[in-house]
Structure 1
Amino acid sequence: MLTIHSLLEGMSIGAQVHTATFVSIFLAVGAHKGLAAFALGSKLLEDAPPGQRWILYRGILLFGVCSPIGIMIGAYMVDEVKGAGIGLLLSAATGTFLYIAIPELLLPAFEGEQSSTSATLAAVLGFSVMAFLAIWV
């Protein structure tokens, strides 16, 4: 799912026609790309059988190339996709991010041994930072 999300977010970056919009989406993607890669690597490392680390490297390589490929596809499609189509790309990228983030990252944080107060504060801080970034940029 992360590779599909990576491809869609790349397409949403490549489909931008205004520099300001391009920069804001690029910064938003950059703000979470490292965390998404860390989450993917951690999950692959946990699931990879001993002696078969090539599965881990293949998954990370696929994840890494999907954004640049998506940017090229989005740049190619920019002449064909207008208005609502660009909104559809952005909403698909956002939807896949939420689909991954909420059940895989956010909900387990509240179920773990950590106190729910610290998990709540971390979630509110993360949402606030991203909202500030969206307003500021």
Structure 2
Amino acid sequence: MPAVAVAPTIFVVDDDPLILAFLQTALAPQGYSVELFETGERMLGKVQTALPALFVVDVRLPTTDGIELVRTLRSIAACADIPILMLTGEGRLDRIVMAMQAGANGYLMKPFSPEQLNAKIRGLLAG
């Protein structure tokens, strides 16, 4: 009997419900299992019981800065090698550099298309 392929899980954290809905709509049809979080703290709580194939993290979050969240994820041994895609609407190069130095593997500037998002995620998941 052939093995059943399991959909890669993506954890997404963004405080904007419209962005979360857009990401869900863009990713689910591509075969990803998507879990949405409005705060970094909620996502970190979930990481205690389950791990994704990839994290998507907004740079600006209400209680935990996205860059600090990346640092926290990288300090957790089980998350150290999981790719992290940063989303930013700021357009500030210094914040993008900080995110990459903190351990992010890539970034997308808002606004972006579903095609751009999926291409970036495919690349990160491929290694």
TM-score scaled to structure 2, two decimals?
Answer: 0.29
TM-score scaled to structure 1, two decimals?
Answer: 0.27
- Higher helix fraction: Structure 1 or Structure 2? 1
- Higher strand fraction: Structure 1 or Structure 2? 2
